[in-house]
Amino acid sequence: MTAPPPIERLALIGLGLLGSSIAHAARRGALAGHIAGHARSASTRNKAVEIGFIDSVHDSAAACVADCDVIILCAPVGAYGAIAREIAPCLKPGAIVTDVGSVKGAVIRDVGPCLPKEVHLVPGHPVAGTENSGPESGFAELFEGRHCILTPAPGTDPDAIRVIHDMWAAMGSDVEMMDADHHDRVLAITSHLPHLIAYTIVGTASDLEEHLRREQVKNGDVVRTSEVIKYSAGGFRDFTRIAASDPVMWRDVFLNNKEAVLELLGRFTEDLTALQRAIRWGQGDVLEAWFERTRAIRRGIVETGQAGGFSATEPKKGSSEDSEA
Amino acid sequence: MTAPPPIERLALIGLGLLGSSIAHAARRGALAGHIAGHARSASTRNKAVEIGFIDSVHDSAAACVADCDVIILCAPVGAYGAIAREIAPCLKPGAIVTDVGSVKGAVIRDVGPCLPKEVHLVPGHPVAGTENSGPESGFAELFEGRHCILTPAPGTDPDAIRVIHDMWAAMGSDVEMMDADHHDRVLAITSHLPHLIAYTIVGTASDLEEHLRREQVKNGDVVRTSEVIKYSAGGFRDFTRIAASDPVMWRDVFLNNKEAVLELLGRFTEDLTALQRAIRWGQGDVLEAWFERTRAIRRGIVETGQAGGFSATEPKKGSSEDSEA
């Protein structure tokens, strides 16, 4: 009596945070009749079976995609090319290949040419995640209220786009269409550069950490405390959370959005050098004018409701999220 | 029958976020018999009177400190020298001057020489704050569970130190003693450099924002959306919150902790250049090794409970704080 699920057979290639969250969300929404899963490592496959969020597990990506209607690549972007070459001969005509990667131009470049003509490619990017990774970190609510950006090439079959659109919408996302190049430039500034900067500063701090340990006597014991960690609430903490994100995934993001990231890094370094010079020469007016300008951007974020439950007008009293000085 | 308040007459020079929060906390804990307040701008003074967190308001800092036992400088650090020169002749013998500045060497340098011999100087830094500023942003709980670092010079009267120690402890802070130079180096990495980097990247993004607006038709109207703001949850958002902090306060922090900040900036830029080179040359192993290392720092922060209620093992489901990719 109930309607059949919109996707008969769904394949997930990669069962980390994103893959497992999609499985949970697809289960919850009855979006797929069968969920087939593949992960490169045996321990991840075993964990997925143990948690039970997939219906069948496969040692190879090729075996996993056989007879599937929708295939979602949930592996690091750098592995896409090899996966595409492996699965191409096993894809059924009319199948739709999509993905969750944070860069999109590289997907069209690496995956597109490998696929048979009668298979559709609809690259996608759910702008959602946490600092956690692995099959045990997934949860069905990950995509709720988040943006999901689809970047199909011009001429892609509208029905294939609609299937992927509806799948993300059913998982709670706000689905949008964008040109792949535009996506990569926007995400370079809103996500890739911030991650690179956070990784850098946390690494710089980690080198200094040894010098900034203090011996203190506590309950008769000499304790060496890391003061970098102890006083991290002064601003540094926000960077460490970002810099705890999955290393392989982020390695691949930077290598596959090289042009946009390097171009932005050039601009960032120019700006930082200008501020550094203002500090060295004591140009308080230059600093103050710059800092006044950045406030306006925050106001825009607060106004559009992207501030993460933090209001500009009402201080979040006693919040652990305070920006301390 | 009740014990007299530990401080008979307290003076607050500056009535912004910190000054008003101290007033609220001192009121709540009955820590002072009388709270005298001064702010440079008439509108701040009027607002303070209207909210009612001080007992008397004064047009000049000199008038405010007369007959006071404890004087807390809550103005931007760059103004300390002028304030110290102004109040010095009006300080009563035995009075204790303290402050809330984020740099401490500069306080000893600028304020110390101005004070009469029989006045005590106990520099202090409550590591607490929000992105909000002004007299209406203060609240009594701001200092609860936060570190407060005191950096008195060697030979400072122990009784004077104890009065300031007990005052912060009564406001809920975890009070610690530290050498001023050491404080300035620790805070440069945990707070000052992160703020400078956040200010920089948000400024860089703001220059690009105009190019990254898209025209979309919504309900028949053409709407130009800022995509930098729209997709800020990808990491950028965390930086904007930090970069919304008080411009004048932060200008003075950088100008008054110049040496430590410039030294760190040098290290940071070297590290960023190395990562930039790795991206350009496609050295994935260099990137991955760096990103693995930064995870350890986050683990340390989570273990010491400084992570802001965010647990490393349990994903904060559906949280607005997620680090998205």
Q: pLDDT of A9-53, one tens digit each?
A: 999 999 999 999 999 999 999 999 999 999 999 999 999 999 999
Instruction: Check residue A227 and give its pLDDT.
Output: 84
Provide the mean pLDDT of chain B. Answer: 89
What burial letters (b/e) apply to B127-140, b meaning 16+ CB within 10 Å?
A: bbbbbbbebbbbbb
Look at B321 and A298 and tell me if their CB atoms are within 8 Å: no
Distance CA A86, CA A61 (A): 7
**A60 — contact with chain B (CB < 8 Å)?**
no
pLDDT tens by residue, A127-185:
988 878 899 999 999 999 999 999 999 999 999 999 999 999 999 999 999 999 999 99
pLDDT tens by residue, A230-249:
888 778 888 888 888 889 99
Superfamily of A183-282 according to CATH:
6-phosphogluconate dehydrogenase C-terminal like domain (1.10.3660.10)
Provide the mean pLDDT of chain A. Answer: 89
Asked whether the predicted pLDDT for residue B1 surpasses 60, the reply is no
Joined tokens for residue A4? 């059949």
Residues of A in contact with B103 (CB under 8 A): none
Look at A197 and B197 and tell me if their CB atoms are within 8 Å: yes
Superfamily of A7-178 according to CATH:
NAD(P)-binding Rossmann-like Domain (3.40.50.720)
Instruction: Check residue B214 and give its pLDDT.
Output: 66
Residues of A in contact with B258 (CB under 8 A): 279-280, 282
ipTM score: 0.85
List beta partners, residue B213: B226
For the beta sheet containing B96-99, the strands, ordered from the edge strand earlier in sequence to the opposite edge, are B56-58, B32-38, B7-13, B70-73, B96-99, B120-122
Q: B285: burial class by Cβ within 10 Å (0-12, 13-18, 19+)?
A: exposed
**B215 — contact with chain A (CB < 8 Å)?**
no
pLDDT tens by residue, A274-324:
999 999 999 999 999 999 988 877 777 777 766 653 322 233 333 333 344
Domain locations along chain A:
7-178, 183-282
User: How do B120-122 and B96-99 pair as beta strands?
Assistant: parallel
Whole-structure pTM over 0.90, yes or no?
A: no
DSSP, res B201: H
Instruction: Check residue A241 and give its pLDDT.
Output: 86
pLDDT tens by residue, B2-52:
788 999 999 999 999 999 999 999 999 999 999 999 999 999 999 999 999
Distance CA B107, CA B94 (A): 19
Distance CA B229, CA B221 (A): 20
Superfamily of B183-303 according to CATH:
6-phosphogluconate dehydrogenase C-terminal like domain (1.10.3660.10)
Residue type, B16: G
pLDDT band (50, 70, 90) for residue A260: very high
Find all residues with CB under 8 Å of B112, minimum gap 6, and list them: B121, B153
Look at A237 and B102 and tell me if their CB atoms are within 8 Å: no
Report the 10 Å Cβ neighbour count for A282. Answer: 12
Distance CA B189, CA B260 (A): 9
Report the 10 Å Cβ neighbour count for A6. Answer: 18
Q: Which of B216, B217, B287, B319 to mutate to test the interface with A (most CBs of A within 10 A)?
A: B287
Joined tokens for residue B4? 């007299």
Q: B192: burial class by Cβ within 10 Å (0-12, 13-18, 19+)?
A: buried
Average pLDDT over residues B200-219: 78
Distance CA B258, CA B171 (A): 31
DSSP, res B182: H
Average pLDDT over residues B246-267: 95
Look at B275 and A196 and tell me if their CB atoms are within 8 Å: yes
Could you tell me how many residues make up chain A? Answer: 325
Q: B173: burial class by Cβ within 10 Å (0-12, 13-18, 19+)?
A: buried
Distance CA B149, CA B185 (A): 13
First vs last C-alpha separation in chain B: 61
Look at A194 and B185 and tell me if their CB atoms are within 8 Å: no
Asked whether the predicted pLDDT for residue B70 surpasses 80, the reply is yes
Average pLDDT over residues B108-130: 95
Q: Which of B185, B193, B244 sits opposite A294 (nearest CB)?
A: B244
Average pLDDT over residues B208-231: 72
